[in-house]
Amino acid sequence: MPPQIPPTKLPRVGTTIFTVMSQLAAEHGAVNLGQGFPDFPVPQPLADALDAAMREGHNQYAPMTGAAVLREAIAAKALRCYDATVDPDTEVTVTSGATEAIFNAIHAVVRPDEEVIVLDPAYDCYEPAIDLAGARAVHVPLDPATFAVDWDRVRAAITPRTRLLMINSPHNPSGAMLDADDMRTLCTLLEGTDILLLSDEVYEHIVFDGARHESVLRWPQLRERAFVVSSFGKTYHCTGWKVGYAIAPPALGVEFRKVHQYNVFCTFAPAQHAFAAMIREQPQHDQELGAFYQAKRDRFRAQLQGTRLRPLPVPGGYFQLVDYSAISDLPDHAFARWLTVEKGVAAIPLSPFYASPPADQRLVRLCFAKNASTLDAAIERLERL
């Protein structure tokens, strides 16, 4: 007889909504504004640097912590962008995407029966990593209209079991951002506690309207207890390369690397050398990224005014939330499926980002990290709703 399969360790997890909607889009020939990936090329200097790295022989295992040349470039970038002095040897670890970095950080410090505070709506990889650590995610909802943090509710959620607080700015899916007042409140909230912080900053350079990204690296009181996670895929339009990194104080970095070395051990070596070259030789790329995406945001929002969808504000990131309540009373899952199958535009429902979604919320997420022709094709279909 075959062995009895033990109960699943992830009873609430199925196929991710991003995979489901992308498959549905492909099956029905829909314009895919669901999954968050650009459909335009990587910067040519990056492609050239990758080609050069492979030809120069950087094709074997990279050092577990990341190629020294990249860790040094990341440290230089942290100083340039955030006035943060980072030790490339003890504080920077290169990972196979930000998702791996988030998983590593949680498993490095969170133990069974401890608690991790998650701000809903939250990216879907957070809670499974917490569950696999044997811990419990404590969900604190953001403001349903503005997606601002209610710090009083966060404070009320803290217990003696709280080990980690997770923040995300610019926020996926809403684009909301933490400002300096938020960071000062967070400093006060965590002062005198042993609570650690995980700051998901993968959209750090996609910031609009002259705002400043308040990286935890700018705030010494927070940085001393934090894992700061970043993504090259988001910054350089190459999500399929799956390369990111974490910056953490040496003591936290030691524990982080223990998980990393037995998770993937090391990350795609040629890309590490290519990213190092981009950071050194093309610093204007990350500096100009906000303006690049703001032009896309503004054009897309202007086009949406000709539809029955109501766009919400987008301070950062490359996603546009739209309220569809003028079109349908369907729950968001059903509306997203209808929009894809019947109207030819794929979107992501918001409810999968929540433990308990607001009952009357009628929002879906659209990605504007696309060529103008892709967005134009989607708008042509959305105008018929």
Under CATH, what is the fold of the domain 44-283?
Aspartate Aminotransferase; domain 2 (3.40.640)
Q: Which CATH architecture has domain 17-42+285-382?
A: Alpha-Beta Complex (3.90)
Tens of pLDDT, residues 25-40: 899 999 999 989 999 9
Q: For the chain, give the percent of residues with pLDDT over 90.
A: 94
User: How much is the pLDDT for 13?
Assistant: 85
Angle of helix 269-281 versus helix 68-82 axis, rounded to 10 = 40
Q: What is the mean pLDDT of residues 79-83?
A: 98
15 has pLDDT over 90: no
Q: Over the chain, what is the mean pLDDT?
A: 97
Whether 337 and 324 have beta carbons less than 8 Å apart is answered as no
14 has pLDDT over 90: no
**Dihedrals phi, psi of 8, to nearest 5 degrees:** -60, 145
User: How much is the pLDDT for 12?
Assistant: 84
Tens of pLDDT, residues 54-73: 999 999 999 999 999 999 99
pTM: 0.96
Whether 197 and 190 have beta carbons less than 8 Å apart is answered as yes
| pLDDT-derived band at 86, boundaries 50, 70, 90 | very high
Tens of pLDDT, residues 275-317: 999 999 999 999 999 999 999 999 999 999 999 999 999 999 9
Domain regions of the chain by residue span: 17-42+285-382, 44-283
